[in-house]
Structure 1
Amino acid sequence: MKHAVHLTSVNTPFDTRIFMKECRSLARAGYKVSLVAQAEKGGVHDGVTIVPVQPCPNRKERLTRVVPDVFKTALSLNADLYHFHNIELLPVGILLRVFTRAKVVYDAHENHPDKVAGKAYIPAPIRKLTARSVGALEQITVFCIDAIVTSIGSRLAARFPADKTVILENFALEDMADLFGKIPRTFEGNTKILYTGGLRDHIGSYQVVQAMEHVRTPGAHLTIIGQEIDTPETRAIKQLPAYGKNAEFLGMTDLKGVYEHMHSAAVGLMCLQPLFGYADTSPNKLYEYMSAGLPMVASDFPLWKDLLVRDNTGLAVDATDPKAIAKAIDYLLENPDVCRKMSESGKRLFREKYSWTSQEAKLLDLYERLLSE
């Protein structure tokens, strides 16, 4: 039995893309699968062995302690294939290629150089230099390793050699859609609005809470779930008039809990800001909303408009404008027939085009090819 080891120094052990999709797919296909991640304890879940490294309280310690721990743990597992997921693990990818006979895969979830260029914790005078350095290290790593996986289609894939690159889109999981798919969805009188981005900088948390000050539909209420990262911006969110009034933050929940909220809501929000290459991303939540039949109000990025406008699954708005977000929310809450059509369109397109099964096949093909060489 071939042993595949996934490595992350940032993501949670039960991350949707890494654990729920990729690792579980490999385990079902008969691979021995381990996932090295920050965790208090390990265990076996859905056939995947979680191998913990001690969590750290801050970014500096993550770089100085967690990254070396991930490398040492990876070596000890003696895998046939290593699959790593974060830019800070780029040196680890090179070292694994040098010191082992295993195949090495880099999962480029995002356009990392663009994102680094906007990091507030990097001093402004050196952000561009840091971003260029990350881009250079990424290209060196790509030259050394065996394959690259991307999740954002042709725009990101174009940065890497075509013969080494496989695109795995962030399409939604069938099992979660099936779990709730037979539950009747009600739009008449439903005023629940859902935002699954948590409280974080630059992804629209501030704007969607501010939008609730302008929503005029009686009883409209915003539920926010996800991770909270303590920053000046997220602290400012809690000072907005709507926070604690018609906008509540519930914190983290598992994927089943996310789907429970999606099936009880009337509108889902996805309002990433036009920064750091977000316009070229293809987030899990877009496809999860579709799979749940939840009409969306989302950023008017060109890449997203096809899903929203052409495919009639939601409304595209200027995500920097809380009043525009509020207007779109009111329109959907006041027009349940429109919501119902968007809901059916989203579920149909998910079944036809946007389910993880199609991407799972590409992942398995990649592993089979690499491990047969």
Structure 2
Amino acid sequence: MKICMLTSTHGPGDGRIFQKEAKSLAKEHDVTIIAPSNESGSSITEGIRIVTVKRPDSTALHPITLLRLLRACLAEDADVYHCHEPDALLIGVLAKYLKGKRVIYDIHEHWPSEIPFDLRIPNGSLIQRALSAFVSSVEIALARRAESTFAVSESVAARFRERGLEPVILSNYSITDLDIPYSPNRNGRNLMFMAGNMQSFHGVGECIEAVSRVRKRYPDVSLTLVGNVREDLSEHISGSGRNGFITSTGFLPYREMYERLSKGTAGLLVFQPTYYNISIGLPNKLFDYMLLGLPVIASDLPEIRSVVGRADCGILVDPGSVNAITEAITYLFDHPGEAERMGANGRRAVLETYNWSRMESYLLQTYRNLDGAASGSE
């Protein structure tokens, strides 16, 4: 089959879309990704065709991006449109009826809470509640027109199951066959904090303050920020005099990201549950830390708690409490043997359970079923 993966907000090299799903599907199908970028163009990367449309500088001009994506989508002679956001799904459904094709919807987020947050609408306001209800109803209506749906977690899938849809769970587990360096005997006290684009809800401010306090006892501790640091946050770090123990890497390519993380001694994942999508999130960063054998200090939130508790791979904390984060970091440094045990537990859990190869089998089987259904109807 010819598969067109369509995204309206993610980049063409996104970890879930390109590194996991597209590469897996390319083992059995022809795959094209259509995504927004700073420039338009077409290329082949690792056997996957990448088509980019130019994204306007202002987010207010997002409708122009959608029109460009629709045009690129209609130009593709695809059998299936695999859509990654509600507005991408709208484009896919239009293509379905205009070209007689099939659609799959891949649900990454709880969009009824994510979209108002992205638009900076105050949580709990009348406008937020109204927009959330509207997004939910439109998303469900469009999802009913898809031949199949995936969801990133049980919590994300729940809303669709309440309405009679049955998404296949396709979690953001780690790829384990990348030959990533692993060293169970770690020296130093280098904490790792990873986020694509660091925002307030990631808890980076709380972690920086906690590390500052830990340094009173362990002055050699350092913090590496892996990802893009916003300008205001960078200025805050410099102005506080903390840049002496904080290193920021900026965006790193996939493998280079793993290589940098492997130099750490523990991973910080302290999402602040400022809105619903964060509260039910299960970040792929958790599994990346675990794969590398890093004990984790993580937010005590439902999906994260389920994994960390089952694997016994870290310490759960109240993400809003700097004292709790400080105490967890100190505990790991005071008990290096326990930290090593937790890290080994996490790595074993990923290799045995939380790995992408398991998810790949569900992904490929769903497409085989779709292909078989299409063949049977001909």
Q: TM-score, normalised by structure 2?
A: 0.90
Q: What's the counterpart of residue 212 of structure 2?
A: 213
Aligned to 1:45: 45
Deviation string 1:216-242 (CA, Å, 9 cap, x unpaired) is 322111110113456x6x467446626
The residue number in structure 1 matching 2:361 is: 361
Q: Which residue of 2 aligns with 1:167?
A: 169
Residue deviations 1:167-192 (CA, integer Å, cap 9, x gap): 1011100123x3324xx3333x4111
Question: What is residue 7 of structure 1 aligned with on the other side?
Answer: 6
Q: Is 1:306 aligned to 2:306, yes or no?
A: yes
Match of 1:58 in 2: 58
Distance in 1 (CA, whole Å) between partners of 2:115 and 2:234 is: 23
Q: 2 CA distance for matches of 1:237 and 1:303?
A: 31
For residue 136 of structure 1, what is the amino acid of its counterpart? S
Alignment coverage as a number of residue pairs: 363
Bigger CA drift: 52-61 or 362-371? 52-61
| Alignment check: 8 A CA contact 1:210 1:242 kept | no
Aligned to 2:191: 193
Deviation at 1:9, TM superposition (A): 1.6
RMSD: 2.0
Q: Partner of 2:136 in structure 1?
A: 135
**1:147 and 2:145 correspond:** no
What does residue 288 of structure 1 align with? Answer: 288
Identify if the C-alpha distance between structure 1 residues 370 and 174 changes in structure 2 by more than 3 Å, giving closer, same or farther.
Answer: same
Residue identity opposite 2:228 in structure 1 = Q
CA distance in 2, matches of 1:144, 1:200: 34
Comparing 195-204 with 4-13, greater Cα deviation is found at 195-204
Distance 1:315 1:338 in 2: 11
Matches within 5 A, 1:185-334: 185-187=184-186, 189-197=187-195, 198-216=197-215, 217-229=218-230, 234=233, 237-238=236-237, 241=240, 243-277=242-276, 278-334=278-334
Distance of 1:265 and 1:313 partners within structure 2: 15
Q: Which amino acid aligns with 1:259?
A: Y
Identity of aligned residues (%): 28
Residue 106 (structure 1) aligned with residue 105 (structure 2): yes
8 A Cα contact 1:200 1:227, kept in partner: no
TM-score relative to the length of structure 1: 0.91
CA distance in 2, matches of 1:195, 1:164: 35
Please tell me the residue identity of whatever aligns with 2:227: G
2:376 is matched with none
Does the 8 Å contact 2:3/2:31 carry over to 1? yes
Query: 1:105 and 1:313, CA in 2 relative to 1: closer, same or farther beyond 3 A?
Result: same
What are the superposed Cα offsets for residues 14-39 of structure 1, whole Å, 9 maximum, x if unpaired? 111110000000112x2110001123
What's the secondary structure of 1:145's corresponding residue?
coil
* 3-state SS in 1 of match to 2:200: coil
1:366 Cα deviation after fit: 0.9
Cα pair 1:209 1:237 within 8 Å, conserved: no
Q: 1:323 to 1:110 in 2, by over 3 A?
A: same
For residues 101 and 242 of structure 1, the distance between their equivalents in structure 2, rounded to whole angstroms, comes to 60
User: Which sections of structure 2, spanning at least 5 residues, go unmatched?
Assistant: 374-378
**Partner SS state of residue 159, structure 2:** coil
Shifted more, 192-201 versus 290-299: the winner is: 192-201
Deviates more, 1:103-112 or 1:82-91: 82-91
Give deviations 1:297-336, integer Å, cap 9, x for gaps. 1101132223223422111011111222122112112322
Q: What SS does the corresponding residue of 2:256 show, helix, strand or coil?
A: helix
How far the C-alpha of 1:243 sits from its partner, in A, is 4.0
Alpha-carbon distance change, 229 to 50 in structure 1, aligned in 2, over 3 angstroms: farther
CA distance in 2, matches of 1:136, 1:229: 34
8 Å contact from structure 1 (residues 3, 33) kept in 2: yes
